[in-house]
Chains A and B, each alone.
Chain A
Amino acid sequence: MNLSSSAKFPRTRLQRGHLVFIFFALASCLLIIGPPTARTASVISQTTTAQNPASTGRASGALRIRAWPKLDGETRKLDRKRFFLIKGSLAENQPLIEKMNQTRPLTRDCYYRGIGASEPLIKWLTKGDCESVYCREVSMEDLSGNEAVPEFQLAYARGQKEFGSRDVALKWLTVNLREEIRNGFYRQQQQTLRALVQEAEAVSKAKVQSVMTDRKGSAYFTDLEPGPYVVSNLLPTELGKVGILWNCEVEIKSREASIAMIRAFQLTNDPNAPKKCFVERELPSCAAPGK
C-alpha cells in the first residue's frame, strides 16, 4: 500500500510539472502570435491581394474569342459586338439555349419603322451600324440637304430655343429627342438580354461575364475558373440579311491571359466547321413603305 503511494507521488509531481510547462508554453505562443495588430492585418490583406487571381493573372484562366463569320463568301471581323460567357456545358444550359433559339427580337429596321421613324434617320443609323443615336456626332450636314433627318431638325430647333446657343443645341441635340428615337431599340435589346442573363445565372449559379469585340473581332474573358463554359451572343447578331446566334462550348484551363492571346477560339458561321455551334436565320423583312 505504502509502496504504491510512494510510487504514485513522483508520477503526480511530474504531471504537474508538465502541466505548468505546457501552460506557460501555450501562453507564450498565444502571446507571441497575440491579437492581430495593424501590422499583421496589413500583411494578411497583402497576402489576400497577392493571391487574388485578378491581381496576379496567374491562377485564373482566360479566353480569347474571335468572331469572324462569313458574309457573301468573305470573312468579316465582327467588331463592337457583345458576347457572353455562361458557366457550364451546352447540355447543362440546354433549356436556356432553347429559349434563345425561340426568341425572335425585332431587328433595328423593324423597330424604327415600327415607331414611325423617318427614312433618313433609319439610313443615318444604318450607315454606322448604330443601335442608338449616341453612336456618332450629329453634324450640320444631317440637319440640311437631301439627307436631313427631320427628328434631328426638330431637336435642334428646340435646343436653340432652350439654350440660346446653336453650338450647344447641336452638341446636345440628343437631349431633345424622344426616348424611343434616342435609344429605344438598344433599351429593348437590353431588356431581353438582362432577362436571359438572369436566367443563365440562375441555372449556372455563376456570374455571366460579357465583353465587346474590338475592330479585329477579338475580345477577352479573364479571371475564369477552369471548367466548361458556353460562349454566346444570347441574341442573334445582324449580319447582312441574316441573324446569327452562337452557343459554343469551350473548356477553360487555368492559364494566363498572355497565352490566351496567342490562341483564340473562333466563332464562325461555316457550316463545314468541325463543331457547328451557330444558328443562322434570315431576318424578317421590314422594308420601307413603297419599296
Chain B
Amino acid sequence: MLRRIITITLLAPLALAMFVYPRLSSTARVFQARQQRRATARPAPSGKNAPDYSKFSHRSRSHQQACASCHKTPTANWRVARSFPDIADYPGHESCVGCHRQQFFNGARPTICTICHTGASPRDQLRFAFGQPKAARQANKLLDLRQFIIEFPHDKHQDVIARLAPSQKSMRGELAFVPASFNLKGSMTDEKGPQFNNCAVCHETNRRQPDAPKGGWPGAFVPVPETFKTAPTSHASCFNCHWKSQPPTADDCAGCHKLAAAAFVPQSWPTRLSARFIHEGGGPNKDHIAECTTCHINITKASTLRGLMPDVPIGSCAACHNNDKQGNTYKQITTIEMELDQSEKTHSCHYCHTPDVGRKEAPRSHCLAVGWPLTKCKNTQ
C-alpha cells in the first residue's frame, strides 16, 4: 500500500507538469498565431464585424463574377498608358456602385475610394498605378500586395519559341541558339540575320538595383543588378501572341491568373545558394553565355510555375570551372578544385557563395562533379 502511495505521489505531479506545459505553450503559440493572422488579414474594422472598405479582395464571393463584367479589354486609356493594347486601368465606377452605393456616398471622404484613388475625395481623380506599377508614372501603393498567382507552362513555350538562330557560322550552314543573356549584336550573331525568339523574350538582364531581403544581404554582399534576370511584370510579353485567337486570350484573365489562397507580397529575387554567380558575368568577356537550358536543366519539362526551382546542378559549373585546364579554354578560371583546396584552410568557400552557405562543409555533389575523393566533401546533404 505504502509503495502505491509513494508511486502515485511521485508520478502524479510529474504527469501533471508534463500535461500542462506543452498545452500551455502550444496554446500560447496558437493564440499568438491567431492574433498575428487577425492583425495581418483583417485590420481593425470600425464597428463590430464591419467590412473594411479600404481594401478590395477578389476572394470575396460577390467579387467572383466573370472578369469581363468589371475589367474591359483593352481599357480606354491604353494608348496613353501603354505602347500596346492592354488592361491598363481599374474598372469604372459602375462596376462598384451597383452594390456599394451606400459606401460611395458616405461623407466627404468615402473610404471605398482609397482602393483605387490616391486621395479619398470626389475631386481627386489620381489613381494608383494599375497592373504595371514599377513601370508606370502613377503613384504606387505602399505594399505590392498580389491576389493572383500566374500559371505559365515553360514546356509549351519552350516548344514553340525556343528556336535556332543563325550565327556567324550560319554562313557555312550551321546553326546556334541565341543565349538569352547577351547582346544580339555580339560577336556570335549575324546582325542581319533573323531574330529568333528564346528565353530572352520574357527574361531580360536585370538593370535595377535589387531590393535587400529582410534582415539584409547575407555577408553584407550586395549583388550587382546584372546578377539576376527579370521576370515579366506586365502583359507585354503575353499579349503579342495571346491577344486573341491563341488561348488563353486577353479577355480570359483566369487562363493565367489564378486566385491565391491569400494576398501576398512577391519575393523580389530568387533565393540563391551561389549568391555571387552573375548571369552577365564570366570574366571580362562575359563568358557565362551558355544557353539557359544547359544549366537550368529542368525548365523544358516544367508545366507550371508552382514549385519550380532554378535547378542548376554543380555539374553545370564544373563544365568550365574545373582543373582540366589543358582542355579548357579559360586558363585563368577559378576552379571548384581550387576552392575545395583553399576551403580546407579557411573553412569557407567564397568564390561563389556568401558566408551563410560558404561556411558549411562542401556537399558530395561538388567532389563528384570534378572527380575528387568524397572525403573532401563531408556534407551529405
| Residue ranges of A at the interface with B (Cβ–Cβ < 8 Å) | 13, 16-17, 20-21, 24-25, 27-28, 31-32, 34-35, 37-39, 50, 54-58, 79-80, 82, 127-132, 134-137, 139, 163, 167-168, 171-172, 174-175, 179, 182-183, 186, 209-212, 214-216, 218-220, 222, 256-262
Given contacts A256-B365, A258-B315, whether A31 and B163 have CB atoms under 8 Å apart is no
Are A175 and B33 in contact (CB-based, < 8 A)?
no
Given contacts A134-B197, A210-B155, whether A215 and B297 have CB atoms under 8 Å apart is no
Chain B positions 143-179 with a Cβ under 8 Å from a chain A Cβ: 155, 158-165, 175-177
Are A175 and B241 in contact (CB-based, < 8 A)?
yes
Neighbour of B30 across the interface among A38, A131, A139, A259, CB < 8 A? A38
The minimal Cβ–Cβ distance linking A149 to chain B, given in whole angstroms, is: 12
Neighbour of A129 across the interface among B12, B33, B163, B297, CB < 8 A? B163
Are A174 and B241 in contact (CB-based, < 8 A)?
yes
Are A137 and B3 in contact (CB-based, < 8 A)?
no
Are A172 and B365 in contact (CB-based, < 8 A)?
no
What's the Cα separation between A82 and B177 when bound, in Å?
Answer: 16
Besides A134-B241, A137-B195, 20 more A-B contacts (Cβ < 8 Å) are A17-B4, A20-B8, A20-B11, A21-B7, A24-B11, A27-B15, A32-B22, A37-B29, A38-B29, A80-B177, A82-B300, A128-B196, A135-B160, A136-B197, A137-B197, A163-B84, A182-B245, A257-B313, A258-B315, A261-B313
Nearest B-chain residue to A82, judged by Cβ: B159
Neighbour of A220 across the interface among B177, B195, B297, CB < 8 A? B297
B183 touches A (CB below 8 Å): no
What's the Cα separation between A267 and B26 when bound, in Å?
Answer: 58
Interface string of B332-364 (1 = CB under 8 A from A): 000000000000000000000000000000001
What's the Cα separation between A39 and B3 when bound, in Å?
Answer: 39
Residues in A with CB closer than 8 Å to B30 are 38
Residues in B with CB closer than 8 Å to A79 are 164, 175, 177
Residues in A with CB closer than 8 Å to B1 are 13
Residues in B with CB closer than 8 Å to A261 are 313, 315-316, 318-319, 369
What's the Cα separation between A285 and B7 when bound, in Å?
Answer: 94
Chain B positions 2-55 with a Cβ under 8 Å from a chain A Cβ: 3-4, 7-8, 11-12, 14-15, 18-19, 22-23, 25-26, 29-30, 33
Nearest A-chain residue to B315, judged by Cβ: A261
Chain B positions 89-117 with a Cβ under 8 Å from a chain A Cβ: none
Nearest B-chain residue to A262, judged by Cβ: B315
Residues in B with CB closer than 8 Å to A130 are 163
Are A258 and B365 in contact (CB-based, < 8 A)?
yes
Nearest B-chain residue to A34, judged by Cβ: B22
Nearest A-chain residue to B367, judged by Cβ: A258
Are A256 and B241 in contact (CB-based, < 8 A)?
no
Tell me the dominant secondary structure on chain B's binding face: helix
Q: How many A-B residue pairs have CB under 8 A?
A: 185
What's the Cα separation between A135 and B195 when bound, in Å?
Answer: 9
Residues in B with CB closer than 8 Å to A257 are 297, 313, 315, 365
Are A163 and B369 in contact (CB-based, < 8 A)?
no
Nearest B-chain residue to A174, judged by Cβ: B241
The minimal Cβ–Cβ distance linking A89 to chain B, given in whole angstroms, is: 22
What's the Cα separation between A215 and B319 when bound, in Å?
Answer: 15
What are 30 A-B pairs at a CB distance below 8 A?
A13-B1, A13-B4, A21-B7, A32-B18, A35-B26, A37-B26, A128-B165, A128-B196, A129-B175, A134-B161, A134-B197, A134-B241, A135-B160, A163-B84, A168-B83, A172-B243, A174-B246, A182-B246, A183-B246, A212-B155, A218-B294, A219-B300, A222-B297, A222-B298, A256-B313, A256-B365, A257-B365, A261-B316, A261-B369, A262-B315
Given contacts A134-B197, A175-B240, A262-B315, whether A24 and B15 have CB atoms under 8 Å apart is yes
Given contacts A31-B19, A212-B162, whether A137 and B365 have CB atoms under 8 Å apart is no
B293 touches A (CB below 8 Å): yes
Residues in A with CB closer than 8 Å to B306 are none
What's the Cα separation between A38 and B33 when bound, in Å?
Answer: 10
B215 touches A (CB below 8 Å): no
The minimal Cβ–Cβ distance linking A170 to chain B, given in whole angstroms, is: 10
Neighbour of A256 across the interface among B240, B244, B368, CB < 8 A? B368
What's the Cα separation between A218 and B25 when bound, in Å?
Answer: 54
Are A16 and B195 in contact (CB-based, < 8 A)?
no
Are A16 and B4 in contact (CB-based, < 8 A)?
yes
Neighbour of A135 across the interface among B7, B161, B314, CB < 8 A? B161
B378 touches A (CB below 8 Å): no
Given contacts A80-B162, A174-B241, whether A214 and B293 have CB atoms under 8 Å apart is yes
Nearest A-chain residue to B82, judged by Cβ: A168
Find the residue from A56, A57, A215 having the highest chain B CB count within 10 A.
Answer: A215
What's the Cα separation between A191 and B8 when bound, in Å?
Answer: 74
Given contacts A28-B11, A80-B162, whether A17 and B3 have CB atoms under 8 Å apart is yes
Nearest B-chain residue to A173, judged by Cβ: B240
Nearest B-chain residue to A35, judged by Cβ: B26
Given contacts A175-B240, A258-B318, whether A127 and B300 have CB atoms under 8 Å apart is no
Nearest B-chain residue to A261, judged by Cβ: B315
Are B4 and A20 in contact (CB-based, < 8 A)?
yes
Are B23 and A57 in contact (CB-based, < 8 A)?
no
Are A38 and B26 in contact (CB-based, < 8 A)?
yes
B60 touches A (CB below 8 Å): no
Are B301 and A209 in contact (CB-based, < 8 A)?
yes
